[in-house]
């Protein structure tokens, strides 16, 4: 898990605009399921892509979904063709998503996020209600299991705040 946190630290350190979503976000809320990657929602602007490229340059990033492990490079107009970007790096795997199923594109994801604080800085994470909606929309068995736990965590938190 420490390697996955290093991925987030790279994003924060390079001032990349992102919101943490997916399994690692669920783990931050207390879900006991494990994940092997980081999922973040990002705006695919040229500036953000250049920051992403710089953040991972020394971690040997390559496209996971290609047979020949093509290196991550930014060509002219690359940002206009992107919906998602799936990278493997020396620090682990990161999925950069243009939108989140059940929530929407980056602006909606950002609006449905809360601030998280780590030793390396602040970043945004999808709020628990939006995370539940995203996991429900995915519908995979592991997402269904996460939804059950997230609902329990949300209920316990609500009970603690009631007089």
- Over 70: is that where the pLDDT of 55 sits? yes
Which pLDDT value is given to residue 62? Answer: 93
User: Do the beta carbons of residue 124 and residue 116 sit within 8 Å?
Assistant: yes
Question: How far is the CA of 19 from the CAs of 25, 112, 160, in angstroms?
Answer: 9, 9, 27
The CATH number of the domain covering residues in 2-161: 3.30.460
- Over 70: is that where the pLDDT of 163 sits? no
Give the model confidence (pLDDT) of 102-160 as tens digits. Answer: 999 999 999 999 999 999 999 999 999 999 999 999 999 999 999 999 999 999 988 87
Query: What residues pair up with 40 in beta bridges, in sequence order?
Result: 20, 96
The answer to whether the predicted template modeling score (pTM) of the entire model surpasses 0.85 is yes
Mean pLDDT of 30-45: 94
Which pLDDT value is given to residue 75? Answer: 75
Domain extent listing, the chain: 2-161
């Amino acid at each position: 898990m420490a390697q996955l946190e290093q991925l987030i630290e790279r994003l924060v350190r390079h001032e990349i605009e992102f919101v943490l979503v997916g399994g690692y976000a669920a783990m931050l809320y207390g879900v006991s399921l494990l994940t092997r990657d980081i999922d973040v929602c990002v705006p695919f602007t040229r500036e953000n892509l250049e920051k992403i490229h710089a953040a991972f340059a020394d971690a040997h990033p390559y496209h996971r979904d290609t047979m020949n492990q093509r290196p991550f490079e930014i060509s002219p107009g690359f940002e206009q063709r992107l919906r998602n970007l799936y990278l493997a790096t020396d620090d682990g795997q990161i999925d950069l998503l243009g939108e989140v199923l059940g929530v929407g594109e980056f602006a909606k994801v950002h609006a449905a996020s809360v601030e998280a604080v780590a030793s390396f800085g602040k970043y945004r994470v999808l709020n628990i209600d939006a995370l539940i909606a995203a996991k429900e929309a995915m519908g995979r068995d592991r997402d269904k299991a996460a939804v059950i736990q997230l609902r329990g965590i949300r209920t316990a938190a609500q009970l603690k705040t009631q007089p």
